[in-house]
Every structure is written in structure tokens, then in C-alpha cells.
């Protein structure tokens, strides 16, 4: 199978996107240590197969609505990770839930640490909204590419309001 890639330039930095005829496979910060490995394994050609992915991803980082995305096809991940990533897509824009709530939702209430690890290994940034998962006490917790990006994504999802809790407001 032939793989394709492009680099998206956003307010959050540059992102590596990998797709194929079958669908979207990865969206990772271009500085992510997995990117050179993916390029080596899949030897992608420049220019995405599904051109609308690039525009949709950039719109998503701006808090804008996106049109229909191609199917996401995971090339990596355990069954638990794929189950977590699939559930993350169900969380509405502007809403957040805790890691423990997520564990309960996917019927793995005693696996919070494994759930948190799966969230952190999300291969499709922003489109699979792992940034919507926070700690039980409401604090942001961690994020693979830093809390500034996580809070920024949450902020654009609620319209960038000046009193956003992610900017230190109410």
C-alpha cells in the first residue's frame, strides 16, 4: 500500500499527517519522535491522498467546524488503546471528562492508568480529541505536546472567551 504525508502549519506548530487510500493514520506534532520512524517504515510520498484532511485539521485547531473526515485506520495500538481512541471521538467539542470517567465509560473502571497511557499514545492529534481528558479534580493533567497546547485547544473549542478557565478565568 502507498502512504502519503503532508505537513500542516498551525498556531500550535507544525504537524505531520500520514494517510493512504484506506484513510487517515497519523497526525503528530512534527517534532514527535515517532515521525522519523513512521517515515522510515512507510516511506510516504508527499501530498496527502485525502486532500481535505489538511484543511479539516487546520480548521479543527482554530475551533472551526470540519467537514466529513475520511475513516481513521489505526496502524498501531492494542485493542484497549483502539477502544479508548474510538471513545475519545464521541466526546463533544468543548466538553471534557476525567480519566476515571473515561475508564468507566469503556467498562474498564479499574484500569485508569492504562486508560491514561492509551490517551497519551493517541496517534491522531486533535481529530481524536485526547486534549478533552483531564484529571478528576478538573486540572489539565498532562499532554504529549505540553499543557500550553492542551489549554489552547480547549480554549479555541469554547470560542476563545476571555474568561475561559483555561486562561485562568472563572
Q: Return the C-alpha cell found at 76.
A: 498501531
Number of separate helices (H) and strands (E) present in the chain: 6, 6
Count Cβ atoms within 10 A of the Cβ of residue 145 and give its class: 0-12 exposed, 13-18 middle, 19 or more buried.
middle
If one counts every other C-beta atom within 10 angstroms of the C-beta of residue 120, the result is 14
Q: Of 103, 130, 134, 153, which residue is the catalytic one?
A: 130
Backbone angles phi, psi at 138, to 5 degrees: 95, -10
Active site residue 135: no
- Is the distance from CB of 134 to CB of 140 less than 8 angstroms? yes
What is the distance between the alpha carbons of residues 84 and 98, in angstroms, rounded to a whole number? 13
Q: Show which residues are catalytic.
A: 130
Amino acid at each position: 500500500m502507498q502512504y502519503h504525508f503532508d505537513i500542516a502549519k498551525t498556531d500550535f506548530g507544525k504537524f505531520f499527517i500520514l494517510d493512504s487510500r484506506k484513510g487517515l493514520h497519523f497526525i503528530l506534532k512534527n517534532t514527535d519522535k515517532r515521525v522519523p520512524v513512521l517515515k522510515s517504515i512507510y516511506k510516504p510520498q508527499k501530498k496527502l491522498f485525502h486532500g481535505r484532511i489538511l484543511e479539516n485539521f487546520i480548521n479543527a485547531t482554530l475551533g472551526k467546524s470540519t467537514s466529513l473526515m475520511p475513516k481513521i485506520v489505526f496502524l498501531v495500538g492494542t485493542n484497549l488503546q483502539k477502544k479508548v481512541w474510538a471513545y475519545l471521538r464521541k466526546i463533544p467539542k468543548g466538553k471534557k471528562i476525567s480519566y476515571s470517567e473515561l475508564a468507566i465509560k469503556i467498562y474498564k473502571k479499574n484500569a485508569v492508568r492504562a486508560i491514561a497511557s492509551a490517551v497519551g499514545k493517541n496517534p491522531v492529534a486533535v481529530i481524536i480529541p485526547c486534549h478533552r481528558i483531564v484529571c478528576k479534580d478538573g486540572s489539565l493533567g498532562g499532554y504529549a505536546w505540553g499543557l500550553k497546547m492542551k489549554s489552547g485547544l480547549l480554549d479555541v473549542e469554547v470560542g476563545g472567551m476571555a474568561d475561559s478557565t483555561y486562561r485562568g478565568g472563572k
